Amino acid sequence: MADNDKQGDAKQQDITKFLIMTIASIVIMFIVFAAVNYMVMENLISQKIGMLNLSQEEVADEGSEDEIQKGIIVDLGDFILNLCDENQKKYLKVNVAIEVTQKETDFPKVEEEKSGGHGGHGAAPAPADPMEAIQKEMNQYKPAIRDAIITNLSSKTSAELATAAGKELAKEQITNDINSILGGEREVLRVSFGQFIIQ
């Protein structure tokens, strides 16, 4: 009987030791898992914060570039055209304007007379209006530019142009088309849609 009690106590002690060892190993594994998880999450969070800071700097840089690059706006007028919808006829009425880069020669600086005169009998004649000269230069490209815009927009469906992403894609394609027409003389900075109605 005493042997049975000793064996029962030994089994009880073995089971207790096993349970203590199991619980201790589970606690240790949980602590290790929590520590690794904390380190991984801390690393990911710091990477995300770094990426956000970098993207904010890029946005600030792009904003400053846009402020520096102010161009000359050329209104291309209204366009009324058929869209490429198969089921039913859809029309687009849109007003398009482009902003093109300035040249250094567009707005020449007027030099004062070195003789010290302030107007009067030796004054130079007033320079011609630079905007008029730029509009005249751009008028020679207008038919080709209008054709490129009509070709681009009429190849789209109303569903494509109904989304903001679709409009941005059309603007990007129009920019590329016009830049190829201008052949490096000027560059398109932006394409703007004024009125934009799909019926």
Beta strands in 59-133, from DSSP E residues, in sequence order? 72-82, 91-100
CA distance 70 to 51: 29
Q: What's the whole-number mean pLDDT along residues 44-69?
A: 64
Percentage of the chain beyond pLDDT 90 is 22
The answer, yes or no, to whether residue 31 has pLDDT greater than 50, is yes
**Which tokens go with 183?**
């052949």
Domain boundaries, the chain: 1-68, 72-107+129-198
CA distance 95 to 78: 4
Backbone angles phi, psi at 69, to 5 degrees: -90, 85
Nearest Cα residue to 97 out of 198, 193, 1, 195: 193
Q: Is the model's pTM score more than 0.85?
A: no
Write down the pLDDT at residue 121. Answer: 54
DSSP codes joined into one string, 132-187: HHHHHHHHTTHHHHHHHHHHHHHTS-HHHHHSHHHHHHHHHHHHHHHHHHHTTSS-
CA 105 to chain centre: 31
Better pLDDT: 5 or 98: 98
Residue type at 182 in one-letter notation: L
Q: What is the pLDDT of residues 116-154, one digit of tens each?
A: 555 555 555 545 667 777 788 888 888 999 999 999 999
Burial classification of residue 139, based on how many CB atoms lie within 10 Å of its CB (0-12 exposed, 13-18 middle, 19 or more buried): exposed
Could you tell me if 73 and 97 are in contact, meaning their C-beta atoms sit under 8 angstroms apart? yes
The CATH number given to 72-107+129-198 is 3.30.479.30
